[in-house]
Amino acid sequence: MKFSNRFKMTVAALALAVAGSAQATITYQSNPAPGTVIPGVATYQTTGAMMDNMSITANFTGGFSQTLYWADTGLISGGVTGTGWSLSQSGDTFGGNWVFSDTRQGSLLSLVLDGNTGYTLFDRTFNGNSGTPGSANGWSFDSDTFDGWFFDPDVTVTYSDRVALTGQAAVGDLWQVMTLNFGTDGFSGRFSFIQDTDNDIRATQVPEPGMLSLIGLALAGLGFTVRKRKTLA
């Protein structure tokens, strides 16, 4: 029995699709070296709007790399939008999806989320225990969906910059940097994932940008009043 070339191509495409429907393999790594010491955990219920200034670096094939800083986009949402790509999160990060979208021609090789600049902590699953005091249960990186061509990519997740509370040894559930590596071929498309985060208590001690503006206006007004009184005197 003879088959047309079109039929053969269709069968080959279906075979690739079926082969690629397998779940992605997630490999976890961590750097046990001493990392950051913080005074405490502010809250374990963190939303997309509570991670401002976290550094996001996306590395693509072809040598293109871009670093952006997280900003809130709503009451419970935040994200970054780069050149042909974006990363966003809405709602509680404990179970709420992060969404990465890529419309570039190249493939994503790695994605680095660095919470040092925004006092954001990545809270890992810790044998069903709450781990570091104040952090409650965490949720390690877990891929939800990959919308790419024919296959789900394997992901290596590396946690680094281990966090310890002042005067205490690091428990091992909190980290300040999470790196997603998609291998030499990378991944092109859209994917969502889950990763729980907490906030360093120092995040609550940093005034919001709007508050800083109000303080600046107040100080400027005070200075004007003082100068005016001196002039009248």
Mean pLDDT by 10 residues, the chain (233 residues): 45 43 83 91 91 98 96 97 97 96 91 96 89 93 82 92 95 97 93 96 68 44 47 50
Domain that holds residue 123: 24-208
Q: Is residue 198 part of a domain?
A: yes
Is 203 within a domain?
yes
Q: Does the residue 6 lie in any domain? A: no
232 inside domain: no
Residue 92 domain flag:
yes
pLDDT score of 83: 96
Residue with tokens 């990060």: 93
- Alpha helix (H) ranges present in the chain? 5-19, 209-232
Yes or no: say if 166 and 41 are a contact pair by the CB < 8 Å rule: no
Confirm whether 192 is domain-assigned: yes
Q: How many CB atoms lie within 10 A of CB 107?
A: 19
In degrees and rounded to multiples of 5, residue 149 shows phi and psi of: -90, 105
Q: What is the pLDDT, as a whole number, of residue 181?
A: 98
Phi, psi of 93 (to 5 degrees): -70, -15
- Output DSSP code: residue 47: B
Token reading at 129:
């225990």
Tell me how many domains the chain contains: 1
Write down the pLDDT at residue 223: 52
Does residue 218 lie within any of the structural domains? no
78 domain residue, yes or no: yes
Q: How many CB atoms lie within 10 A of CB 3?
A: 9
Residue 218's Cβ-count burial label (10 Å; 0-12, 13-18, 19+) is exposed
| pLDDT at residue 150, as a whole number | 61
Judge whether 197 and 163 are in contact, CB under 8 Å. no
